[in-house]
């Protein structure tokens, strides 16, 4: 949480608007995303791949050679994902001002959502098991425009959004939720 960070060019403040805190996405969160992606891929195609290898690899030497190729491919994938993931995570910036929440993402494309505190209807906190250990999680402020379907805890049921709708994988999410409640509590929608 810092307030002295320079603002990106696609974010501008209103007159007399003050930044209360600036939040960033945590880098370790990208590894859980990669692992869940790999896990889903393995569940979908793992068994058929193993069956294919067992059927057509032939000799034991071929199987061992293929295993080396798989290990190198997996290591290369993880390294590439970790490097790209670093820049992806660096592109997330969340700003809480005294009037609104600004959620900005810049990675190949740029998306910015800003929502006034008076329009926030619900605040959802979602923290996975690894997030609980490393103390990060997502805080999603819902409004009548961005509804609960984007905040479901089950990724397969969650509606896809090309823009970021929540403060994804920020440190101390329950504390941030309490701060957000403090900012929204006395504001009525106009």
By CB under 8 A, name the binding residues for other proteins.
120-129, 131-132, 137, 142-144, 146-149, 152-153, 174-175, 177-178, 181-182, 184-185, 188
Residue number, 93 or 146, with CB nearest to other proteins: 146
Shortest approach of other proteins to residue 30 CB, angstroms?
A: 18
To other proteins, the closest distance from the beta carbon of 129 in angstroms equals: 5
CB-wise, 18 or 147, nearer to other proteins?
A: 147
Task: Collect all residues with Cβ–Cβ distance below 8 Å to 78 and sequence separation of at least 6.
Answer: 34
Closest CB 176 distance from other proteins, rounded Å: 11
* Nearest CB to other proteins, comparing residues 85 and 131: 131
Which is nearer to other proteins, 45 or 155 (by Cβ)?
155
Show Cβ contacts of residue 99 under 8 Å, excluding neighbours closer than 6 positions.
Answer: 14, 17, 116, 117
The structure tokens 């425009």 sit at 145
Report the distance separating Cα 73 and Cα 82, nearest Å: 14
* Cα–Cα distance measured from residue 170 to residue 155, given in angstroms and rounded to the nearest whole number: 18
Asked whether 164 and 139 are in contact (CB, 8 A), the reply is no
Q: Are the C-beta atoms of residues 80 and 132 closer than 8 Å to each other?
A: no
Residue 22, both tokens: 């600036």
Closest approach, Cβ 58 to other proteins, in A, equals 30
Which residue's CB is nearer to other proteins, number 93 or number 125? 125
Least CB distance from residue 182 to other proteins, whole Å? 6
């Amino acid at each position: 949480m810092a307030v002295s960070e320079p603002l990106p060019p696609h974010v501008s403040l209103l007159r007399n608007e003050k930044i209360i805190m600036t939040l960033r996405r945590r880098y370790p969160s990208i590894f859980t995303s990669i692992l869940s992606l790999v896990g889903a891929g393995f569940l979908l195609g793992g068994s058929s791949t193993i069956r294919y290898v067992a059927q057509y690899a032939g000799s034991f030497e071929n199987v061992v050679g293929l295993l080396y190729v798989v290990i190198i491919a997996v290591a290369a994938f993880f390294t590439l994902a970790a490097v790209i993931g670093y820049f992806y995570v660096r592109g997330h910036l969340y700003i809480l001002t005294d009037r609104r929440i600004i959620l900005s993402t810049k990675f190949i494309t740029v998306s910015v959502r800003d929502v006034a505190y008076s329009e926030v209807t619900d605040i959802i906190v979602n923290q996975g098991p690894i997030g609980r250990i490393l103390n990060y999680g997502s805080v999603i402020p819902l409004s009548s425009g961005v509804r609960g379907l984007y905040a479901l805890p089950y990724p397969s049921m969650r509606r896809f959004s090309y823009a970021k709708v929540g403060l994804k994988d920020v440190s101390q999410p329950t504390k941030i939720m309490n701060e957000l409640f403090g900012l929204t509590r006395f504001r009525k929608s106009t």
